[in-house]
Amino acid sequence: MSESITCVRLPNTKTKYTGSRITYEMVKRQIEQRFGQEMADKYDPLVSVRPFQDWIKLGYKVKQGEKGLRSLIFLERRDEKNGITRRFPKVIWLFHECQVESLNQN
């Protein structure tokens, strides 16, 4: 990429990521398409991407006009009547550390 990308890196603040290799690769491909191979190579799901509300809690906001990275999580629901646990996918939107800025920034 010709333009310089500024990213936020938060040491010692890991996400709750427990995803699969498939979701890892899915998000990594999107990062490569948007921000280039260098950013994709640096991708770490434990620190590089977070949902919108997690960034807010850490004192950051998503930059205006940024679009989320699509990912999946799997939720489990247990039917108390028959004891069957069902898993189903849910789409979540993540934002890369290059897509956020400090809430205190003008």
pLDDT in tens, 3-58: 567 777 766 677 777 778 889 999 999 999 999 999 999 999 988 999 999 999 99
- What is the pLDDT confidence band of residue 75, given thresholds at 50, 70 and 90? confident
Q: What is the pLDDT of residue 68?
A: 97
- As a whole number of Å, the CA-based R_g of the chain is 16
Q: Is 71 left (phi over 0), alpha (psi -120 to 50) or beta?
A: beta
pTM over 0.85, yes/no: no
Q: What is the mean pLDDT of residues 85-94?
A: 91
**Residues forming a β-bridge with 70:** 93
Q: What is the pLDDT of residue 2?
A: 44
